[in-house]
Amino acid sequence: MKRSIPEAFHGSISEGENAKEFIDEIEQYFAKIEKAEMSNLLAKLISMKYKGKSNIREYIMEMSNLASKLKALKLELGEDLLMHLVLISLPAHFGQFKVSYNTQKDKWSLNELMSHYVQEEERLQRDRSESVHLSSTSQNKKRKKTKGVAEGSS
């Protein structure tokens, strides 16, 4: 039974070559592909920035997933490094939280970090909605005062 040769290697083995040399060529080919994939994944992980479009849990899970893919390619990032990459990638409004984490003696696991960030994100959203509510209430009071003054002066 004759085996078919993958398209990328078609014609790459001659009658004089042995199977060992052919296998070495295949290994080199796939090693190049793995290096390129590793570089792409690492570049993506390092350049990620949280923009608030998805929730923070999904964002951290995406970063963790990229780290897992790198681990499968035999480039393992420690959890500490991954946590610092997460911290670095977050926007300025998480600054107070970053300082709080960095001043603690305890180290958190990635799951703990995610849990704390979810709580922080919810707190920030509550603060924003309260701020918007106070702002709109304040503007309504100003409009009523201005309207009352204008009506009283006519």
For 59-91, give the DSSP string. HHHHHHHHHHHHHHTT-PPPHHHHHHHHHHHS-
For 9-61, the pLDDT digits (tens) are 555 555 556 777 778 778 777 777 888 888 899 999 999 999 877 788 899 99
The pLDDT value recorded for residue 3 is 44
Domain boundaries, the chain: 19-152
Distance between CA 15 and CA 27 in Å, rounded? 20
The pLDDT value recorded for residue 64 is 93
Which pLDDT band holds residue 134 (cuts at 50, 70, 90)?
A: low
φ, ψ for residue 105 (rounded to 5)? -80, -35
The pLDDT value recorded for residue 4 is 45
Are the CB atoms for 121 and 56 separated by under 8 Å?
A: yes
Burial of 87 (0-12, 13-18, 19+ CB in 10 A): middle
For 65-94, the pLDDT digits (tens) are 999 999 998 888 988 899 889 989 988 888
Distance between CA 74 and CA 57 in Å, rounded? 26
In terms of pLDDT, which residue wins out, 83 or 131?
83
The pLDDT value recorded for residue 46 is 93
